Amino acid sequence: MTPRESLSFVVNGERVEVPVASADTLLEVLRYHLGLTGTKQGCDKGDCGACTVLVDGRPILACCTLAREVADRAVTTIEGLAGSDGPSRLQRAFDQAGALQCGFCQPGMMLSASALLSRHPRPTTDQIKAALAGNLCRCTGYTKIVAAVELAASDPPLATSVQLGPAADGRIMVGAPARKPDAIAKATGAARYADDITLPRMAHGVILRSPHAHARIVSIDVGPALALEGVYAAMTGEDLAITFGIIPWTPDETVLARGVVRYVGEGVAAVAARDEATARVAAAAIRVEYEPLPAVLSPAHAMADGAPLVHTHDWKGRPREDNVCKDVSLEFGDVDQALARAAVVVEGEWHYGGSTHAAIEPHCAVASWGPDGDLTVHSSTQVSHYLHRELAKVLELDPARVRVIAPTVGGAFGGKSEPFDLEFCAAFLARRAGRPVKILYSREEVFAAHRGRHPMDFKFSLGLDADGRVAAVDSDVIVDGGAYHSFGLVTTYYAGQLLTGPIGFGTYRFRSRRIYTNKPACGPKRGHGSVQPRFPLETALDEAALALGLDPIEVRRRNALGNGATTINGFRLGSCGIRECLDRVEAASEWKRRYHAMPPNRGLGVATSMYISGTAYPIYPNEMPQSGVVVRADRSGRLTVFSGTNEIGQGSSAMLAAVVAEETGVPVERITVVAGDTELTPVDLGSYSSRVTLMAGEAARQAGAALGRAMTEALAEHAGVGLDQVTRALGTWHAGGRPYPTADVLVLAETKFGTLATTGGFRTIRVGGDYRGGTIGASPAYSATAHVAEVEVDPDTGVVVVAKIWAAHDCGRAISPIAVEGQIEGSVYMGFSEAMLEGWEFRDNGLPVGPNLLDYRIATILDTPVIEAMIVEEPDPNGPYGAKEAGEGPLHPAIPAIANAIRHACGARLRHLPFTPERVLAAIRAAAANADQRR
Amino acid sequence: MMRLPEVRVHVPASLAEAVALHSRHPGALYLAGGTDLIPNLKHRLYDTSDLISLSRILPVGVAVADGEVSLGAGSLLVDLIEDPALRTHLPALAEALALVAGPLHRNRATLGGNVMLDTRCLYYNQTPAWRAALGHCLKKDGDFCHVIGSGKRCVAARANDSAPLLMALDAQLDFLTAAGPLVVPIRRLYAIDGRFPGHCHTPPSALLTGIRVPAPRGLRRATYRKVRRRAAIDFPQLGVAVALEQDEVGRTASLVVVLGALMPEPRLVKQLDFALGRGLDDTVIDRVAAVAAEQAHPQESIHGSSDWRKEVTAVETRRALHSLRVPIGR
């Protein structure tokens, strides 16, 4: 063992003595020796700020500070911000302002803010941004973080109630601005994320990964690893042969590579040891002999004649002949004829570069086996239920003996929405080692796991009639899939199917092909599959409108679909508030006054989008509810809501509590939500495809309403009044002129009906087009969004500053307006960041250019534009209270709106993401050359 | 999470003891703020098992005397940025240091550490697994530079924001070595080869203790412009420092332009004599900018294409000069 010396320092006002090794960082000592797990680890090496703590009052990076260096100094962690009278004003302000989504970056953020406020009690907005510029947040777009610091620095007392304002339309909770019930735990560092879990005798696992993009595994010898002291178990791909995949039709993955590695970073073996350092040494000691194979890194190469095959056989052992893993063609109407007759046709090639989720929390799983052979896996997952199923399948276990628990999840964005190697490996190694095993991805491993936004190449044509109507859209899409299917079957459809609103098409044709390449598998990133085609559509629409002399907003209005419309591919839009969205961004940006009067090199751009509120059908065919909720009451007047949903920071638990409060009058303060635990909660399919508010919200509404009915009947009987004489408000019901606290009403209900537990379930609503593939992209409801972006272009360097984005989003009904605003702001940020900064790029040998948070740049608070989020409510008949999605749709328009604004500013048309200064400058020159030619 | 290798941390009580420790452990590395050294150690970029902690012994603070601004090498960037004396006498340095990395780095990083910063490269500042998959590089464990496609010279970038400006201002560096004090002009510090050690002309045992900058006189002014993709955290893709001295009617008495982050050695732009003794009008500025760009040879060892960074060199040089010049005939 490493020699340790005693270190003495003061942490949160208390002197501690702790034995440390020379190589221990302050972060490791705080988290793993002192149990102060509120200090987070995000990037390994000083790029993200999640590990920020105060040393002698100054915020510093604990991961870049040797523990020895703080001897006798005073360290403050998030646990030390609260006083004896509870959370500090700053912590409560973060809660009240809605600044806490996943919460993972927030302890560091709050410590930076705390240091700022001690020096500048009334900071300016610029001072706040400067002080927080080293703390990356992936959820919030920083908007509510700035608001939270401003609130903390102001005088008014903070709210003590959950509800901060009136509810909507005579309701009692739905529509009310409210704090999130789980926010203060995140603000104080009390929330437990996967890596905060430590179990007795727990070992640490490490997965050894391939250095080759494509190679045959000749041999693996784990012997040298097992020979090391403190190493408990090892495994290879040969130990788990059963294939899996999130889509049941395309199970092309194994836990670890078997025979062939297909991308740099693919797992080949794993070890468990007494600590992570030992496990890393052991993993490095494993001997793997590879025979390198030629790799294909681009779809163009992969589709060329004679290209090496990423998969020579499919999962059933059938030989494959090419690298096309899915090929979809659909045509609606006579596109060729419509294009021939169009007044203007814009056509060309567009390229959407890939991007990754970069949630600040790295994936982590902790697996343990009970004495009776039951497996429990804690994992930072968005899909507890699917993980449950796949664990049982691959490990060949009775599903009834497997339990998956999603603890607090530190951001996901689609990056944690399928099973990953670490969950299987932790479970397998834990069985083999006879002790619990934790596996925590390094940041580089998070990049290898990927499942991020697919790069797509488009050959795209759009034709407008003389009156500005979209006569035809023709899109040929090549989707760069990476080495495995992931959600690829769905992605291939989404790349075409989700494009047909809120702008209606006269005719439409798309061909979409997803191609295997020797890179990490792409998958669903926020706005799965449909963010990419928005880019050619909305920029081509702009070009076409310009050619016709039409205002960009006006052309979108003319083509806007309305409530009850059916898209050309057969999707019914219950509600579609795109017109109001356009009106709102037009007014807020003062478009009419400013569009033709912008200063040089400054421009405005508009774009729209539509997105699903969940997929109509479950991933695996079944007739059971897609989401179930149980509400049970106890005699204290408290309700517990059980739901299989995964709270990933988006606010699903708060939403469930608000819905149940609405239906029962029981205040949110008295509602506990138990979520994402497959043993305790009824099934929900998971937090993906923006399904939770509509589906779990509806299930909760039913369960809450059933309990509400029982309460009504019991109180009416008790008070001797008719059912219509019973009214409810939050905390108190009324009957016969008398108030009854909800706790008393629950006692009456339990007395009358017996033990109180009610259920609700969302069942599939049959929707979609009547053709093969017509259900993929079909959803119970569709959101609509419009953005206006304002940019300033430096014509000498090509540097673009996105100054502001106005985003109006139709979410049907905002059950929690603060949470909806947060989703809009975070979506806008993420779209902006991938448009301007993020590049998912590889070297010729298949190595990612920079799989870390310094080389892969996500926007800081200083880069992020001012974001003005506007909620539009066009209630949908299929949503609870009319609610639709808000978490993904608002991302889409950011990218084309920025591109259109750059065009407006300087004439440069960008058809290649991201919009680097190099590309912008080249586009400026191309535009100038074109203008010269025309003269 | 990524852990440090096994290391011994020595905590000397004095600078002399620190240097003596280095003599006993020749491969040892000096540790000041650690914001770059620690990530590099986590990446296993150095074959050392000894760190010599300087955090409690390095001189700190700013002193102005005898026409010189003296800066303790251990001064934290955050303290220098806010230091009233520095803001009065060398505002450009305070402003340049405010552009280093992010606020959390600046709260621990030292000026001495920034001056002595290792060079950076996209093929070097990566994990051991990544570099092994690459087959290593000239700068560490390999014999081939992936940037220029040969095995002759390491072209990692000198990506420290302090260097161009301190070179423009002709700073002197005070080192302590086992043989006694050593003064090195910063213009002679950086090597043309980016390999570590050796990227600086001083021996690895030399301990930087202080930085002395001639105090500006009259109308001598300086500025530093940094180009990076994000407004915080990022290293420069290009740094342009200009020191300009003009007389009261706007004639240029001296002009120094230094380009950073392009190559292992910041580039002191030559052949600017044509600009001396005359007003700095737009024509002259454009010519200076063109000469600077001509002498810029950006290597793609860091982010940003070579062509673009070369072109922006002219733009930023022009902007720097515009921001500094005294109107002709004032």
What domains can you pick out in chain A, each with its CATH number?
5-80 (3.10.20.30), 89-190 (1.10.150.120), 195-293+362-409+416-449 (3.90.1170.50), 456-616+770-934 (3.30.365.10), 627-762 (3.30.365.10)
> Edge to edge, what strands does the sheet with A203-209 contain?
A231-236, A267-273, A203-209, A437-440, A364-369, A375-379, A402-405
Q: Give the mean pLDDT of A301-314.
A: 98
Residue A934 has pLDDT above 80, yes or no: no
Report the CATH number of the B62-116+157-214 domain. Answer: 3.30.465.10
Q: Helices B306-324 and A917-934, interaxial angle, to 10°? A: 90
Put simply, the chain A residues between 787 and 826 with a CB less than 8 A from any chain B CB are 796-798
Nearest to B4 among A23, A444, A797 (CB): A23
Tokens of A925: 């020159």
What's the alpha-carbon Rg for chain B, to the nearest Å? 20
Question: Rounded mean pLDDT of B81-91?
Answer: 96
Residues forming beta bridges with residue B174, ordered by sequence position: B183, B210
Span B286-299, pLDDT tens digits: 999 999 999 999 99
Any chain B CB within 8 A of the CB of A444?
yes
Residue whose C-alpha is closest to residue A25's, from B183, B299, B51? B51
- Compute the nearest-CA separation of A825 from chain B (Å): 19
Point out the residue among B2, B34, B104 whose CB comes nearest to the CB of A66.
Answer: B34
Best of B134, B233, B302, B313 to substitute, by most chain A Cβ atoms within 10 angstroms, is B233
In sequence order, what are the beta bridge partners of B254?
B245
Chain A hits for B42, CB-CB cut-off 8 Å, are: 44-45
Nearest-Cα distance to chain B for A48, in Å, is: 9
pLDDT tens digits for range A158-168: 998 999 999 98
Predicted local distance difference test score (pLDDT) of residue A931: 87
Candidates B4, B43, B230; nearest CB to A837: B230
**Residue A519 touches chain B, beta carbons under 8 Å:** no
CA dist., res. B75 & res. B113, Å (int): 10
Calculate Rg over the CA atoms of chain A: 27
Smallest CA–CA distance, residue A843 to chain B, in Å, is 9
Say how far apart CA A249 and CA A489 lie, in whole Å: 9
Q: Of the candidates A45, A49, A797, which has its C-beta nearest B42's C-beta?
A: A45
**DSSP classification of residue A29:** I
Question: B216 vs A483, which has greater pLDDT?
Answer: A483
pLDDT at B330 over 70: no
pLDDT above 90: residue A694: yes
Question: Residues of A numbered 116-175 whose beta carbons fall under 8 angstroms of chain B's beta carbons: which are they?
Answer: 130-135
Output the six-digit token pair for B111.
């000026």
* Average pLDDT value over all residues in chain A: 97
Three-state secondary-structure class, residue A153: coil
Quick check: B118 and B40 in contact, CB under 8 A?
Answer: yes
A41–B1 C-beta distance less than 8 A: yes
Per residue in A448-502, pLDDT (tens digit) is 999 999 999 999 999 999 999 999 999 999 999 999 999 999 999 999 999 999 9
In this structure, what are the phi and psi dihedrals at residue A900, rounded to the nearest 5 degrees?
-70, -35
Q: Mean pLDDT across the stretch A86-99?
A: 97
Question: Over the stretch A287-297, which tens digit does the pLDDT of each residue have?
Answer: 999 999 999 99
Q: Residue A567 corresponds to which tokens in the numbers above?
A: 């898209």
pLDDT tens, A219-244? 999 999 999 999 999 999 999 999 99
B39·A443 Cβ contact <8 A: no
Looking at residues A82-94, what average pLDDT do you find? 95
**What is the side-by-side strand order in the sheet with A74-76?**
A14-20, A5-11, A74-76, A52-55, A58-61
Over residues A502-527, mean pLDDT? 98
Least confident of A25-34, A408-417, A534-543, A763-772: A763-772
Please indicate if any CB of chain B lies within 8 Å of the CB of A845: yes
Interchain contact, A133 vs B233, CB within 8 Å: yes
If you average pLDDT over every residue of chain B, what do you get? 96
Query: For residue B34, which residues of chain A lie inside 8 Å, CB to CB?
Result: 64-66, 69
Which chain A residue is nearest to residue B107, measuring alpha carbons?
A60
Does residue A843 sit at the B interface (CB-CB below 8 Å)? yes
- Nearest chain A residue to B56, by CA: A69
Closest CA in chain A for residue B53: A69
Distance CA(A468)–CA(A613), nearest Å, equals 29
Contact yes or no for A46 and B103 at CB 8 A: no
Q: Would an 8 Å CB–CB cutoff place A852 in contact with chain B?
A: yes
- Can you point out the beta strands (E) in A520-675? 602-612, 627-633, 639-643, 671-675
Residue for token pair 């987070």: A40
CA-closest candidate to residue A447, choices A843, A104, A849, A835: A849
Best of B48, B97, B230 to disrupt the A interface by mutation (most A CBs within 10 Å)? B230
Percent of chain A with pLDDT over 90: 98
Question: What number of C-beta contacts closer than 8 Å exist between A and B?
Answer: 162
B247: distance to nearest CA of chain A, Å? 30
B57 CA: distance to closest CA in chain A (Å): 12
The per-residue pLDDT for B261 is 98
Number of C-beta neighbours around residue A751 at 10 A: 11
Q: Which of A863-872, A909-918, B171-180, B245-254 is the least confident region?
A: B245-254
3-state secondary structure A437-498: EEEECCHHHHHHHCCCECCEEEEEEEEECCCCCEEEEEEEEEEEEECCCCCHHHHHHHHHHC
Judge: domain B220-324, CATH 3.40.50.10330. Answer: no
DSSP states along B235-290: PPSEEEEEEEEE-TTSBEEEEEEEEESSSSS-EE----GGGTTSB--HHHHHHHHH
- Residue A332, both tokens: 């609606």
Is there a contact between B126 and A442 if contact means CB atoms under 8 Å apart? no
> Per-residue pLDDT for B242 more than 60?
yes
Label residue A3 by pLDDT band (50, 70, 90): confident
Domain ranges of chain B: 62-116+157-214, 220-324
User: Would the CATH topology of B62-116+157-214 be identical to that of B220-324?
Assistant: no
Tens of pLDDT along A349-369?
999 999 999 999 999 999 999
User: Taking CA A524 as the corner, what is the angle to CA A523 and CA A529, rounded to the nearest 5 degrees?
Assistant: 100
Which of B9, B39, B315 has its CB closest to that of A46?
B39
Mapping DSSP to helix (H, G, I), strand (E, B) and coil, where does residue A538 land? helix
Q: Evaluate whether A651 touches A101 at the Cβ level (below 8 Å).
A: yes
Tell me if B229 and A134 make a contact (CB, 8 A cut-off). no
| Largest distance between two CA atoms of chain B | 64
The complex's ipTM? 0.98
- pLDDT at residue B329 in the model: 60
Q: Read off the pLDDT of each residue in A928-932 and give the average, rounded to a whole number.
A: 90
